[in-house]
């Protein structure tokens, strides 16, 4: 390890065989784990269901508190752990459930067992869930100029949303994702129509209080990307789509 100043956000991608200690930190002489090495950056967990259940469950508290405390016989050590969790998973063991080109060979029981490897409380802490369809060979081989244009546009929209939030929160380092429930009533207030939609959806989807407020935070960000001062029903509807696993 060097003493050089870090100028780029970290990106950590531990293998699914990584132990709980290597992920969370610890050891005879406690040292930071992957989640702390990913502080203010990205923790990427590929094939997340393949991680052990105990390892995944240990992520729950750091995702809430943005710190991790390791307790050993010699004392306690607390490390920063404010990271963005990005994870991928197949829909089933064979990987083809719902695929339009290949038939899934898994039984219903196998599919259910596989998808339940991620507990409800852990999923509740994930803001966005996106289903990615198969990409055709033609799309893979076609020119990527259109993709580059889309990426450039997305980058501009994101930077504009960041600027909006910096101005909203007086450049305090706060962003929509870490608004407290009390701050939501001030900075992400819903109109009557949006409130009705969210309440109905909450009853249908059985949203937890955590999930309810996550929808509002995501909707606030979608509104910022849309350059809208107000959160509309369309912003709430889009945010709700990301809560469905």
In a domain, 149, yes or no: no
Domain-located, residue 104: yes
Which carries the bigger pLDDT value, residue 7 or residue 51? 51
More confidently predicted of 146 and 8: 8
- Domain annotation covers residue 136: no
Domain containing 203 equals 176-245
Q: What is the pLDDT of residue 139?
A: 74
Q: Is residue 77 part of a domain?
A: yes
The 10s digit of each residue's pLDDT in 99-129 is 988 999 999 999 999 999 999 999 999 999 9
Query: How many separate domains does the chain show?
Result: 2
The answer to whether 80 touches 36, Cβ cutoff 8 Å, is yes
pTM: 0.89
Q: How confident is the model at residue 86 (pLDDT cuts 50, 70, 90)?
A: very high
Co-location of 22 and 82 in the same domain: yes
Please report, for the domain that includes residue 238, its CATH number.
1.10.8
Is residue 53 within 8 Å of 93, Cβ to Cβ? no
167 belongs to a structural domain: no
CA distance 17 to 46: 11
CATH code at position 35: 3.40.50.300
Q: Which of 91, 109, 126 is the last residue of a domain?
A: 126
Local confidence band at 85 (pLDDT 50, 70, 90 cut-offs): very high
Between CA 81 and CA 72 the distance in angstroms is: 19
Predicted pLDDT at 91: 94
pLDDT tens digit sequence for 160-204: 999 999 999 999 989 999 999 999 999 999 999 999 999 999 999
pLDDT of residue 195: 97
In this prediction, residue 96 has a pLDDT band, given cuts at 50, 70 and 90, of: very high
**Region of 66 on the Ramachandran plot (φ > 0 left; ψ -120 to 50 alpha; else beta):** left
- For residue 159, is it within any domain? no
How many Å apart are CA 196 and CA 193, to the nearest integer? 5
**Residue 186 resides in a domain:** yes
């Amino acid at each position: 390890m060097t003493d050089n100043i870090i100028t780029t956000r970290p990106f950590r991608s531990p293998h699914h065989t990584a132990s709980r200690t290597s992920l969370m930190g610890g050891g005879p002489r406690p040292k930071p784990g992957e989640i702390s090495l990913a502080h203010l950056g990205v923790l990427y967990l590929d094939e997340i269901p393949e991680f052990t259940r105990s390892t995944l469950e240990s992520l729950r508290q750091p995702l809430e508190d943005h710190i991790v405390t390791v307790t050993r016989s010699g004392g306690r050590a607390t490390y920063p752990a404010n990271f963005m969790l990005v994870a991928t998973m197949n829909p089933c063991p064979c990987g083809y459930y719902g695929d339009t080109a290949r038939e899934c060979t898994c039984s219903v029981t196998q599919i259910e067992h596989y998808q339940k490897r991620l507990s409800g409380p852990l999923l509740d802490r994930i803001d966005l869930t996106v289903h990615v369809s198969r990409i055709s060979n033609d799309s893979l081989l076609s020119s990527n100029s259109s993709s580059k244009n889309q990426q450039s546009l997305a980058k501009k929209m994101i930077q504009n949303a960041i600027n909006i939030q910096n101005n909203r929160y007086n450049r305090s380092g706060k962003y929509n994702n870490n608004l407290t429930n009390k701050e939501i009533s001030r900075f992400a207030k819903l109109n009557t129509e949006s409130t009705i939609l969210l309440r109905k959806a909450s009853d249908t989807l059985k949203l937890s209080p955590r999930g309810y407020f996550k929808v509002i935070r995501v909707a606030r960000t979608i509104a910022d990307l849309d350059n809208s001062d107000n959160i509309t029903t369309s912003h709430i509807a889009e945010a709700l789509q990301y809560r469905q696993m």
